[in-house]
Structures are given as structure tokens and as C-alpha cells.
Amino acid sequence: MLFDDTYNEITSNKTAIYKEKGSKFIGYSFLVKSISDIKKKLEEIKKTHKSANHHCYGYILYADKSIYKFNDDGEPASTAGKQILRQIQKFELTNILIVVVRYFGGIKLGIPGLIRSYKTTARLTLEEVNIIKKDITEEYVILFDYSELNNVMKLIKKYDLHIIENELKNECKIKLLIPKKISRLIISIFKKNHKLSITYQ
């Protein structure tokens, strides 16, 4: 992800069901932005499915996919959570949590059966979601005299840059997000104006 300019997210939460030899697997996808989001969703699922035997999951967070984890919740190692995480990676998604709830049907599935069931449930869930590509952005601060405000705002509007906050006094300060794919261009344009400074945050 270090050299990528974009990342993929889901736009809404979806559900899918898979059955094998009496066991019922219910997959849930959630758009999440933080560990606290993930904890909240897991608590909701466990309350909804109190009598389920397992609540297995996998997740990936942030544009650089730097945070990821899976949990087998009592299933044999790597038969559940790891399979869920692999499907998320296969779909090249981030900021997503997939939970697969299992209701045991009385017949043991064995290692191959468990791997197949969790993998299939996660895949079916992900096949239901809508995916959008988003720009990776970088945060910069621009400092300039008020007399340069018009020039600065024209450039921000031209490239549709997102302003996070601003202080428009005699000495102005604007904090904004610049898409990584055009950051070099924008920085070079700003730096041509010696009456302002731009720094990466």
C-alpha cells in the first residue's frame, strides 16, 4: 500500500447465509473506521446471536491496511478467522469487518469442511457489497498573507481540495487534504508562490 494512491471501501453493510451438514453460517459485513467501531459491532452481533456457537471475524483498517486481525473464536486454528481475512484481502478492501456466526448443526465438519464453510460465507457476503475506490489523501498546512487569499482559494477550488480548518486573518492558515496522486503537482504550484509556505503534517 505504500505506493498506492487509492483504496477500496464498501458503501453499505450486507448479510449472507451458508449451510453445510446442518450447521448454519451467517456472514455480516460492516464498514468500520476504528477499533472502537469494530468492538461495538462485535458486541451487537453477540447480543443478536447469543445462542450461536461461534462468532468468528476478520478485519482490516486504514488506507494503508496497516491494522488487521482475525479471530477463530474457539474453532480450530486458522479454520475460520484466517479464511475470512483472506477473502477481505482477495477483494482488496479496507475499513471493513466481516463476522461469521455459526450455529452448530450436530455434525462435525472437520478441518476441510470448516475452512470451506467460513471461506464461502465470507465470499458470499463480500459478493453482496458495493465497492467504491477512494483517493488516499495527505494533510498539509498553508501559511500566507491575507493578500494571497484569492490566489490560494482559486487553486483549492480548481483542484477540489478539501479544507479541514482555516484561520483567515492578516496571517492566514489553511489546513487541507490533498489527494496523494496529485500532491506533487499541487505542492510545486504552491511553492512557485514565494509569498506562502506549505508543509506536510
Q: How is residue 145 written as a grid cell?
A: 498573507
Please tell me whether the overall predicted TM-score, pTM, comes out greater than 0.85 for this model: no
Q: For residue 3, what pLDDT is reported?
A: 60
Q: For residue 61, what pLDDT is reported?
A: 97
For each of the chain's 201 residues, which pLDDT tens digit applies? 456 889 999 999 999 999 999 999 999 999 999 999 999 999 999 999 999 999 999 999 999 999 999 999 999 999 999 999 999 999 999 999 999 999 999 899 999 999 999 999 999 999 999 999 999 999 999 999 999 999 999 999 999 999 999 999 889 999 999 999 999 999 999 988 888 999 998
Spell out where 62-194 has E strands: 67-71, 96-103, 131-135, 137-145, 162-167, 171-179
**CA-based end-to-end distance of the chain:** 19
Q: For residue 96, what pLDDT is reported?
A: 98
DSSP secondary structure string for all residues of 19-52: EETTEEEEEEEEE--SHHHHHHHHHHHHHHTTT-
**For the sheet containing 54-61, what is the strand order?**
15-20, 23-31, 96-103, 54-61, 67-71
Q: CB neighbours (10 Å) of residue 65?
A: 17
What DSSP state is assigned to residue 99? E
Between CA 146 and CA 12 the distance in angstroms is 43
Between CA 148 and CA 171 the distance in angstroms is 10
Do the strands 15-20 and 131-135 form a parallel or antiparallel pair, or are they unpaired?
unpaired
What CATH superfamily is the domain 6-133?
Impact, N-terminal domain (3.30.230.30)
At residue 140, the 3 state secondary structure works out as strand
- Long-range residue pairs from 105-113, CB within 8 A, at least 24 positions apart, any chain: 105/19, 105/21, 105/22, 105/23, 105/24, 106/22, 107/21, 107/22, 107/23, 109/20, 109/21, 109/23, 111/76, 111/79, 113/20, 113/21
Q: For residue 1, what pLDDT is reported?
A: 47
Every domain of the chain with CATH number 3.30.230.30 lies at: 6-133
Name the class of domain 136-200.
alpha beta
Every domain of the chain with CATH number 3.30.70.240 lies at: 136-200
